[in-house]
């Protein structure tokens, strides 16, 4: 058994990782493409005489609604994922994402149907949120249960990199549209193109997942009749409170880091410092490439050094790089410096690639999907959903609001790293803050 846990990744492992990461990238594109067109969507779906700051708050509020809907969808899909299989729910989430994304591309604007326009947009975001709520935890569980235990960090980091590649795809599509089309053409209908592409991407991702196999751990539990005997979520809430709290704090670091540095910053650069849309999105693409690399490296470091050292070092790097980026932008920098400093900030956010390593080893296999989904989605609904609104409001007081917020996140990550180093006794728990219970 020890040899099984320490073996190298084989061809089937790499196939599973590739298909899971690619499918996750395409689905994540569907979920986040909205934020890259937040400015134009706000202009089209709200009254023209609304104050600019209020329009931004309401636009990001609709964006946040997708996060607020995540817990319900995630908990339901995780419940069945723990009882009937990981693969079925892993595939279902794709379909539930593709259809609302297509619909968003066809929605009439405020000028056509008035208040019904933002309400329909809100409904589509809620449906997207329910779908993504099952996708991310399901993907982490799926790949972690396919690979050897001592390769879980690399596998989860690679999958998280795949999810962030969906952000990169969204950034590239947004960059291309802003480069090829004028702002008038985008407002006249060009903004619909990325949503149509997203629906097609989602259906293609669903097709890809038909080639995946159920995880060996779930198959073994099914054969031994060792599946959860009671409601999986009840077991999580009653028996794994400490794991839930740690996982929720980790989710705060992950969600807010990506939302602020990667998703909000292009609009922030355009509105706050009058940086052209095409330039800010090009820089964002560089930052997202660096983020993808950072996720893989963070996961691999976890396998070698453990989560504690990874989070301590990564959190310090996040604080330094993000602070330098936002302050240099505020002082005024050239294009090359913008690209370089944003790329470093993006790379430092790659610490989020270590988050699933802790979470998948925190919960026993029979309630793993439900444990991660509950912790992750509830925390993401709170922190990921409210962060854009909070940061936007704070920017009325200081343009450096994103810098201060990310600095606070770095302190959270540092505290978690110190906690993970202090709290452990067994070899398995020494890396993650709690004992892994897989057989």
Q: Tell me the torsion sign for CA atoms 75, 81, 84, 87.
A: positive
CA distance 439 to 368: 13
Dihedral pair phi/psi, residue 189, rounded to 5°: 145, -15
Query: What element of type H or E holds 119?
Result: helix 116-144
Predicted local distance difference test score (pLDDT) of residue 127: 85
Q: Is 349 in contact with 168 (CB distance < 8 Å)?
A: no
CA distance 272 to 17: 39
DSSP string, 71-83: HHHHHHHHHHHHH
CA distance 328 to 240: 43
Dihedral pair phi/psi, residue 212, rounded to 5°: -80, 155
CA distance 392 to 369: 33
Instruction: Using DSSP, state whether 14 is helix, strand or coil.
Output: helix
CA distance 301 to 152: 11
**Distance from CA of residue 176 to its chain's centroid?**
23
User: Among all chains, which residue has been given the structure tokens 């330039």?
Assistant: 279
If we measure between CA atoms, which residue out of 63, 132, 128 comes closest to residue 391? 63
If we measure between CA atoms, which residue out of 4, 306, 351, 301 comes closest to residue 149? 4
Predicted local distance difference test score (pLDDT) of residue 164: 84
Q: What is the pTM of this model?
A: 0.78
Q: Where are the domains of the chain?
A: 11-430
Q: To 10 degrees, what angle do helices 38-45 and 11-36 make? A: 40
- Write down the number of H helices and E strands in the chain: 23, 0
Predicted local distance difference test score (pLDDT) of residue 343: 95
* Fold of the 11-430 domain: Growth Hormone; Chain: A; (1.20.1250)
CA distance 59 to 38: 6
Instruction: Dump pLDDT digits (tens) for 232-265.
Output: 777 787 888 888 999 999 999 988 888 899 888 8
Q: To 10 degrees, what angle do helices 70-83 and 52-68 make? A: 20
CA distance 305 to 282: 34
CA distance 272 to 123: 30
Q: Beta-carbon neighbour count of residue 381 at 10 Å?
A: 24
CA distance 244 to 363: 9
Residue-level pLDDT, tens digit, the chain, 439 residues: 444 455 677 777 777 788 778 777 877 787 778 877 877 887 788 777 777 767 777 777 777 777 777 777 777 776 666 666 666 776 777 778 888 888 888 888 888 888 888 888 888 888 888 887 777 788 888 888 878 888 888 989 998 898 888 878 887 888 888 888 888 888 888 889 998 988 888 788 778 777 777 666 667 666 665 555 556 777 787 888 888 999 999 999 988 888 899 888 888 888 888 888 778 888 988 998 999 999 999 999 998 888 899 999 999 999 999 999 999 998 887 888 999 999 999 999 999 999 999 998 888 877 888 888 888 888 887 887 688 888 888 888 888 889 999 999 999 999 999 888 765 433 333 333 333 333 3
439, burial (CB in 10 Å: exposed 0-12, middle 13-18, buried 19+): exposed
User: Among all chains, which residue has been given the structure tokens 């569980």?
Assistant: 141
Q: To 10 degrees, what angle do helices 152-180 and 11-36 make? A: 40
């Amino acid at each position: 058994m020890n040899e099984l846990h320490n073996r190298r990744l084989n061809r089937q492992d790499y196939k599973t990782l590739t298909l899971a990461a690619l499918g996750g990238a395409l689905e994540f594109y569907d979920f986040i493409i909205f934020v890259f067109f937040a400015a134009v969507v706000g202009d089209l779906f709200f009254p023209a005489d609304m104050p600019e700051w209020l329009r931004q708050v309401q636009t990001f509020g609709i964006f946040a609604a997708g996060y607020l809907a995540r817990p319900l969808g995630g908990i339901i899909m995780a419940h069945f994922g723990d009882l009937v299989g990981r693969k079925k729910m892993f595939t279902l989430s794709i379909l539930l994402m593709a259809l609302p994304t297509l619909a968003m591309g066809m929605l009439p604007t405020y000028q056509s149907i008035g208040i019904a326009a933002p309400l329909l947009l809100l409904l589509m975001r809620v449906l997207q949120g329910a779908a993504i709520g099952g996708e991310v935890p399901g993907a982490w569980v799926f790949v972690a249960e396919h690979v050897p235990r001592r390769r879980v960090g690399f596998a989860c980091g690679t999958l998280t990199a795949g999810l962030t590649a969906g952000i990169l795809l969204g950034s590239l599509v947004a960059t291309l549209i802003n480069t090829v089309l004028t702002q008038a053409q985008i407002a006249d209908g060009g903004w619909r193109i990325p949503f149509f592409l997203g629906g097609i991407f989602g259906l293609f991702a669903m097709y890809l997942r038909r080639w995946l196999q159920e995880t060996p751990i779930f198959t073994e539990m099914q054969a031994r009749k060792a599946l959860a005997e009671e409601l999986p979520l009840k077991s999580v809430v009653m028996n794994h409170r400490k794991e839930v709290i740690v996982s929720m704090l980790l989710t705060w670091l992950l969600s807010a880091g990506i939302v602020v540095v990667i998703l909000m910053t292009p609009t922030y650069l355009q509105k706050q410092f009058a940086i052209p849309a095409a330039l800010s999105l090009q820089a964002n693409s560089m930052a997202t490439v660096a983020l993808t690399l950072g996720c893989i490296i963070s996961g691999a470091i976890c396998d070698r050094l453990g989560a504690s050292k990874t989070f301590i070092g990564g959190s310090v790097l996040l604080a330094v790089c993000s602070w330098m980026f936002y302050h240099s932008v505020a002082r005024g920098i050239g294009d090359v410096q913008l690209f370089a400093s944003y790329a470093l900030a993006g790379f430092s956010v790659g610490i989020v690639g270590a988050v699933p390593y802790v979470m998948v080893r925190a919960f026993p296999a029979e309630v793993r999907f439900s444990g991660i989904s509950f912790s992750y989605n509830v925390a993401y609904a709170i922190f990921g959903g409210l962060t854009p609104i909070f940061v936007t409001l704070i920017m009325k007081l200081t343009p450096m609001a994103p810098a201060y917020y990310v600095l606070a996140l770095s302190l959270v990550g540092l505290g978690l790293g110190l906690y993970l180093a202090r709290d452990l006794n067994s070899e398995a728990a020494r890396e993650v803050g709690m004992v892994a219970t897989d057989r």
